[in-house]
Chain A
Amino acid sequence: MIEGILVDGLIFAVMAMGVFITFRVLNFPDLTVDGSFATGAAVATMCITNGLGIFPGLLLAFASGAAAGAVTAIIHNRLKVPNLLAGILTMTMLYSINIRILGGRANVALLRVDTIISNVIKLGGSIPREWTLLIFMILFTGTIKVLLDVFFHTDLGVTLGAMGDNEQMVISQGVNPKTMKVLGVGLSNGLVALSGAMLAQYQGFADANLGIGMVVQGLAAVMLGEFLFRSNKIGMLTVQVILGAILYKALMFLGRYYGYYINLTPSDLKLLTGILVIISLSIAKTRNTVGSKKWGIK
Chain B
Amino acid sequence: MIDISNISKTFNLGTVNENTAIRDISLNVRKGDFITIVGSNGAGKTTLLNLITGSILPSTGTIKILGKDVTRSPEYKRAAYIGRIFQNPTLGTSGKLSLEDNMNICSKKGFKGLKISLNAKQRDLFKKELVALEMGLEDRLKDNVGLLSGGQRQALTLLMTVLSRPALLLLDEHTAALDPRNAEIVLGLTQRFIDDYKLTSMMITHNMKHAIEFGNRLLMMDRGEIILDVSGDEKRTLTVEKLVNKFHEIRQTEYVTDEALLTL
Contacts and interface: CB of A to CB of B under 8 A. Distances in A.
A175 B112 contact: yes
B93 A158 contact: no
Contact of B97 (A150, A161, A168): A161
Given A169-B92, A169-B105, A176 B111 contact: yes
A153 B76 contact: no
A171 B97 contact: no
A161 B76 contact: no
Interface string B85-109: 0100011111111100110111011
A153 B117 CA distance: 9
B79 interface: yes
Given A161-B97, A177-B76, A168 B115 contact: no
B94 A169 contact: yes
A162 B109 contact: no
A232 interface: yes
B113 A162 contact: no
B86 to A, nearest CB: 8
A169 B75 CA distance: 11
A156 B104 CA distance: 11
B260 interface: no
Contacts of B102: 162
Contacts of B94: 161-162, 165-166, 169
Contacts of A162: 94, 96-97, 101-102, 105
A158 B104 contact: yes
A171 B112 contact: no
Contacts of A156: 112-114
Contact of A161 (B75, B96, B111): B96
A172 B84 contact: yes
Contacts of A150: 116
B91 A169 contact: yes
The 6 closest A-B pairs by CB, nearest first: A155-B112, A174-B109, A174-B79, A162-B94, A165-B96, A165-B94
